[in-house]
Structure 1
Amino acid sequence: MERFDVAVVGGGPAGSAAAHAAAESGASAVVLEKGVPRADRPDRLGPDSTDAAGILDYWVDIMGIHPDEMPDDVVVSTLDRAEFIGPNESLVLHKTGFDTSYDHFGFCMHRARFDDFLRDRAESAGAEYRVKASVRDVVTDIEGSPRHTVRLANGEDVAADFVVLADGPQRQITNKVLDRFLSFDVTDRLATTKVNHIAYQEHRRLPEDVAREVEGAIKFWWGYMPGHTAYPWIFPNDDNVARIGLTMPIGMDLSAVEAREKYKLLRDSDERIPQGREYVRRLLEQEYGDEYDVETDFPVVEDRGKSKGTETYAISSTRPIDSPTAAGIAVVGGAMGATSAFHEGGDHTAVRTGAIAGELAGAGDLSAYNDRWKEAIGDEVRRNVAFADIVCDYGPDDWDRSFAAARKMMEASSSDKLFNLDVGTVRAGLSVGRLATRFKKAKYKFRGDRYVQLFADEYTV
């Protein structure tokens, strides 16, 4: 049986970052990744895509990797704004409001190339990265040496002193492992169908005029489809291609939707929530159908994405969890809920949590991990959790009111920096005051580490 200092389950951004950091610390590290084929990665198996692959300026510093460190083909477009579109109101942001090391508003990237960059980076540091290495279980003996035996689908075992769980938001291995350290069923808190959204996107080539219109902008439509943090988007890539998609809760019941006639992407004839591809078609028809034939003028680019220009994947919609570090186990990235359906992904938080776990495991002591990840991404998580809490029951009219209030908020501050605005200084009317007060209260509700879904002291190690 092979033995390593650190075994990493899952080879996405969090897993590759963990292996890189562990190897940089001088430890022996192996990444175990089942590997999936992708149309845009024809000669190499790799991890499954788990987000829409966009990075804002201040996320660069959270991630700890600057685009200048990446191969030229990873960044496919730079961004100068975000457009938030409600049924009747809209909002445009040109600045996030944070001092950062990155000069643009953000960038969009080629996800498979980004994954490959992180893999190559880990291997260059001395880590091993194995594909077709599907993990079935992790058996832990706290008093053993090594403590962990990672069981693979091919019947082989890998032994390690430390295990980093980076198997993404579906948590196929993470839930199985954590369940053994809990006095209750792990699915009471982390049932995958309840703590994840489903995301779907298509790579489509845009007409020249539309490509110029969306150049530099990530666009989000709020209040157009029902569901908590449910929204469609357009992200521009290169060569007039954009990723057009959406995220929505899993298993929604259309009959439970109130005022369904107000949602522009629903139809009277709908008997159930539309599928992702239908939502995308309706969005394009609504925005561009008067001038273009959507299927002819917005063709799907079949050599991009996972399969024939499309991608479907889970994305975490829960709050993050602590890890049972006393057992030599750290959970990172989507598996710990550090990514977020509210801000469409979280490669930056995945990479950062993975790097922290790998560094500590490589040094032989994970005990500081739960404190370290909170120091690194706690403010980011608290913001997203607070916003998601505020908009939990929003309908189309609520989004319009909020966008109108937010626009007044920015005008009153002589700035378009909304993300980091000092809401206590705003004097722009009652509606703005209410929005600012709700946000302050939501953040206070999650003060300290109260945004954590599962605390370290709940594990029985």
Structure 2
Amino acid sequence: MEHVDVAIVGGGPAGASAAEHAAAHGAETVLFEQGVPREDREGLGPDSTDAAGMLDYWIDIMDFDYEEIPDEVIHRELEGTEFIGPSSRVRLETTGIEASYPKFGYTFHRARMDDWLHERASDAGADLRVGTGVKDLETDLSGVETSHILTLANGDKLEATHVVLADGPQRRITLNALDQFLPVGKSVSDHLSPPKANHIAYQEYREFPEELFAEFEDTLKFWWGYMPGETAYPWIFPNDGTVARVGLTMPIGMDLEDVAHPESYKLLKPSDDRIPQGGEYIRRLLELEYGDEYDIEEDIPLVEDRGKSKGTETYPISSTRPIDSPVGANIAVAGGAMGTTSAFHEGGYHVAVRSGKIAGRLAATDGLEHYNEVWKRAIGDELLRNIAFADIVKDYEPDDWDRAFDVVSGMQSSSDEGSILGKKYSAGVGATKILGAYKKRKFKYRKGRYVQLREDEYVY
């Protein structure tokens, strides 16, 4: 049976980063990626689907020098973002967080970015087996050293000393692999079952008229309070030329009967007898915003040689809190598989890359016992921000979003430096309430309490 030092399941940003750093630190490393086809990639690759936007400080979280990222990866440099409510809106031109990147951020070609990470891993000496899936992982703790047996899709088996699970929000291998270390009657699915722990995202690549594209060519646009559901919103991300990704995220399996006031949402109609599908939501958004001047299908057509299939793609995105890894069994879980990505900000490429880098380095140097504490130091502040804000807006309805955006506008106008945080008293009662709620949530989750499955709950 083949044996390696480090086996990595999944070839997305977390898996590829883990492979690079494990190999760079001298470990015999193999990465397994089942591979999917895309219209904009030759051959198979990871499931490269998300809105693909990068904020300035996220590059620092990834631990990259922004100048080393290839030019062909980046679509558009951004000057800001616009949040649009039913009757109020606000524009932000700073994240308020110190960063090395000089702009607000950029949009990027997700498949090219993933492929670049694969190139880095290969150059470091990792064995990348794209097109080879893993169907099972069993761990033997009875010997002097821990042993993991991976069963591949073709029936072959491989033994590894350390394993990094980076199989994304679907967690096809992670759930069963971690259940080995929980007491009888408990399951990782209680925390990370995809239908409950994930949202579903859908997006289309559309070509816009030049004069219309110019209105948002350097801006991310988000519509809040237009569709029901926790962390449910559509967006537009400008890409290359005059192509933009128009997409949305929403809870899985939501029922219209669960919506308290369906008449208050602009993307619902009185004739709806169920929650619209993603494509219908997108058409309604485009008609609402641009239908008075443009024929949507004629003037803003799908770009069918982009995306996963004919200009569209549907994908899961984590919408939960992270878990610790069973490091006592020499297993690290990284990226979306561990719940670090967030539907609140449409993804988490940056935290996936960083957690993968940490997992790969520690696996290669026999230091996985420190993984849970190290990733918390590296990305804990970012997770805490996202979880706290997602909690605050969990039950927001359209009017709540309008009030929030009005408050943010007031906070901006009261700040000499254009920063939102730190001006709670000069911005009025509304700002004080929002910042007070934010601090309350952060206090609730302090010292890593945002972790929903702790290391000490595993049994070896």
TM norm structure 1: 0.98
**1:238 has 2:240 as partner:** yes
Counterpart position of 1:310: 312
Q: 1:27·1:362 contact (CA, 8 Å) conserved in 2?
A: yes
Query: Which residue is equivalent to 1:53?
Result: 52
2:23 — aligned with what? 23
What does residue range 335-350 of structure 1 map to in structure 2 within 5 Å? 335-350=337-352
The match for 1:8 is 8
Aligned counterparts of 1:446 and 1:408: Cα–Cα separation in 2: 28
Q: Distance in 2 between matches of 1:142 and 1:72?
A: 46
Range with bigger deviation, 141-150 or 83-92: 141-150
User: How much does 1:447 deviate?
Assistant: 1.1
User: Shift in Å at residue 12 of structure 1?
Assistant: 0.3
- How far off its partner does 1:179 sit? 1.0
- Structure 1 position 170 matched with structure 2 position 178: no
State the shift of 1:146 in Å. Answer: 5.7
Alignment-derived partner of residue 283 in structure 1: 285
Do the aligned residues in 1 keep the contact of 2:232 with 2:251 (CA within 8 Å)? yes
1:50, distance to aligned residue in structure 2 (A): 4.2
Q: Secondary structure at the match of 2:231?
A: coil
Whether 1:270 and 2:272 are equivalent positions in the alignment is yes
Which residue matches 2:122? Answer: 123
Corresponding residue for 1:32?
A: 32
Q: Does the 8 Å CA contact 2:203/2:248 hold for their aligned counterparts?
A: yes
Q: Take 2:179 and 2:343, find their aligned partners in 1: how far apart are those partners? A: 24
Q: Among 358, 381, 388, which residue is 1:379 paired with?
A: 381
Matched, 1:292 2:294: yes
Pick aligned residue for 2:251 from 249, 252, 260:
249
Q: What is the SS of the residue equivalent to 1:378?
A: helix
The 5 A counterparts of 1:177-188 are 177-183=177-183, 184-188=186-190
Q: Quote the residue 2:62 is aligned against.
A: 63
Distance 1:442 1:157 in 2: 46
The percent identity for this pair of structures is 60
Instruction: Give CA deviations for 1:355-393 in whole Å, capped at 9, x if unaligned.
Output: 000000010220110000000010000000000000010
Amino acid in the other structure paired with 1:311: E
1:10–1:167: 8 Å Cα contact kept in structure 2?
Answer: yes
Does the CA contact (< 8 Å) of 2:223 and 2:233 recur in 1? yes
The answer on whether the counterparts of 2:146 and 2:330 sit within 8 Å (CA) in structure 1 is no
Question: Shift in Å at residue 67 of structure 1?
Answer: 3.6
Alignment of 1:54-453 (within 5 A): 54-144=53-143, 145=145, 147-183=147-183, 184-418=186-420, 421-423=421-423, 425-453=424-452
Give the residue type in structure 2 aligned to 1:182: L
1:406 alignment partner, SS class: helix
Deviations, residues 48-93 of structure 1 (Å, cap 9, x unaligned): 1242111100000001123421222110111110100000111101
Task: Give the length in aligned residue pairs.
Answer: 457
| Deviations 1:398-443 (CA, angstroms, capped at 9, x unpaired) | 000011111111211223323xx225x5322211211111111111
Structure 1: distance between partners of 2:286 and 2:434: 31
> Is contact 1:82–1:94 with CA below 8 Å preserved after alignment?
yes
Equivalent residues of 2:134, 2:153 under 8 A apart = yes
Q: Is the 8 A contact 2:248 2:278 kept in 1?
A: yes
| Distance of 2:105 and 2:357 partners within structure 1 | 22
- Range 135-144 or range 101-110, more displaced: 135-144
Task: Answer yes or no: is the 8 Å Cα contact 2:146–2:329 preserved in 1.
Answer: no
Shift in alpha-carbon separation, 1:372–1:50, aligned structure 2, 3 A = farther
SS in 2 for 1:163: strand
| SS of structure 2 residue aligned to 1:443 | helix
What amino acid maps onto 2:168 in structure 1?
A: G
Write the distance in 2 (CA, Å) between the matches of 1:132 and 1:11. 10
Q: CA deviation at 1:186?
A: 2.2
SS at match of 2:230: coil
Secondary structure of 2:431's counterpart equals: helix
CA shift digits 1:292-326 (9 cap, x unpaired): 00010001001111110001000000101100001
Q: Quick one: distance in 2 between partners of 1:385 and 1:348?
A: 16
Structure 2 Cα separation of the partners of residues 143 and 111 of structure 1: 42
Query: Letter of the aligned partner of 2:429 in structure 1?
Result: L
CA distance in 1 between counterparts of 2:388 and 2:275 reads: 27
Say whether the 8 Å CA contact 2:182–2:458 is kept in structure 1. yes
Determine if contact 1:16/1:122 at 8 Å carries over to the other structure. Answer: yes
Q: What is the alpha-carbon distance in structure 1 between the residues aligned to residue 427 and residue 105 of structure 2?
A: 29
CA contact 1:260–1:266 (8 Å) conserved in 2:
yes
CA distance in 2, matches of 1:458, 1:307: 42
Letter in 1 for 2:452: Q
Q: Deviations over 1:115-161 (max 9, x none)?
A: 10000000000001101211001110023456111110101111110
Q: 2:419, 2:156 → 1: CA distance?
A: 53
3-state SS in 1 of match to 2:396: coil
Report the RMSD for the aligned CA atoms in angstroms. Answer: 1.0
Indicate conservation of the 8 Å contact 1:93/1:417, yes or no: no
Given residue 441 of structure 2, which amino acid in structure 1 is its aligned partner?
A
The answer to whether the 8 Å contact 2:192/2:339 transfers is: no
Local SS of the residue matching 2:308: coil
1:193 match: secondary structure: helix
Contact 2:236 2:246 survives alignment (8 Å): yes
| Partners of 1:178 and 1:186 within 8 A in 2 | yes
Give the counterpart letter for 2:321 in structure 1.
Answer: R
Deviates further, 179-188 or 379-388:
179-188
Counterpart CA distance in 2 for 1:64 and 1:410 is 30
Q: Distance in 2 between matches of 1:113 and 1:291?
A: 35
SS of 1:17's equivalent in the other structure is helix
CA contact (8 A) 2:9 2:167 kept: yes
